[in-house]
Amino acid sequence: MGATIPNSKQENCKENIVQLISKVTSASHLPTFSSLIKHQLDASMSLPDRTTVLVVGAGPTGLACAISLIKQGVPDIIVVDTLLQGDNTSRALVIHAATLEVCHRYKHEFHSGFYNGTFQALDTVQCAEPLIDLGAKVKTMGIRGRERSTLVSIDFGSLAKYTRYPFGLLLPQNITERVLTEILESLGVKVLRPHTVAGMKTNEHDRCVVDVSFDDGQIISARYVVGADGARSTVRSVKPSTI
């Protein structure tokens, strides 16, 4: 049988809760409810009609790609993501040396600096050091089986003569995304959220342009589309015959 709280104590309880909320929302280091609501409204604004490059997906790959393109002088870039800021959880933990710096062999072979693959490095776009400062360096890593027997053993130290980052960097993906998002915004590009790609097709008037449609009916016409929208990518699943 539940206890009955006297009305006077109920009122005191309510007053304490109101005071607590007031203190929390007025703290200088925390966002107020009004600013959070404003952020949600800003995120749901109309999308631009067209762009040169549309990056779909604001995970580490999409963010690093956008930063790289901006630093190489590519104008007019839009980045969209299906999730609201902060809704993503960490699904990856280790950043490898090949991601932290560019391999000199590729750097010299591709004189334009426009090589976009595994060796497109965070160091090239001045993103490595902020991540290293936040992460934990590991020299070795092992994977054990059910019987505690070692299945795989990795010695990152053996990379010392090939890279200046001879370690694995342990850093949750959501922190990596936060750092890269801050760098991207400092370059003048904000991730537009939440916007989910529904399909793509060739523009009727210009075969060098792709019309990317979203689930809310909006369309962006882009000359280039980067599919960085995860393992179940909508962009990468589009049949070539439609583009």
DSSP 146: T
The bridge status of strand 168-170 relative to strand 150-155 is unpaired
- Is the peptide bond preceding residue 48 cis, with omega within 30 degrees of 0? no
- State residue 108's pLDDT score: 40
- Which domains, ranges and CATH numbers included, belong to the chain? 40-89+175-243 (3.50.50.60), 94-170 (no CATH)
Q: What is the spatial distance between Cα 149 and Cα 35, in angstroms, rounded to a whole number? A: 52
pTM greater than 0.75 (yes/no): no
Which residues are registered as beta bridge partners of 143? Answer: 152
User: Quick one: tokens of 94?
Assistant: 């280790």
Give φ, ψ of 65 to 5 degrees.
-65, -45
* Tens of pLDDT, residue by residue, the chain (243 residues): 444 445 554 455 545 544 554 554 454 444 454 444 445 544 456 899 999 999 999 999 999 999 989 988 998 999 999 998 766 666 778 888 888 874 333 344 434 433 333 334 577 777 888 999 999 999 998 888 888 888 889 999 999 998 889 999 999 999 999 999 999 999 999 999 999 999 999 999 999 999 999 999 999 999 999 999 988 899 998 876 666
Q: What is the spatial distance between Cα 184 and Cα 178, in angstroms, rounded to a whole number? A: 10
Q: What is the spatial distance between Cα 209 and Cα 243, in angstroms, rounded to a whole number? A: 9
User: Quick one: tokens of 173?
Assistant: 């993906």
- State residue 101's pLDDT score: 74
- State residue 44's pLDDT score: 53
- State residue 87's pLDDT score: 65
- State residue 16's pLDDT score: 53
Q: Check: CB of residue 62 under 8 Å from CB of residue 226.
A: yes
User: Quick one: tokens of 100?
Assistant: 């932290």
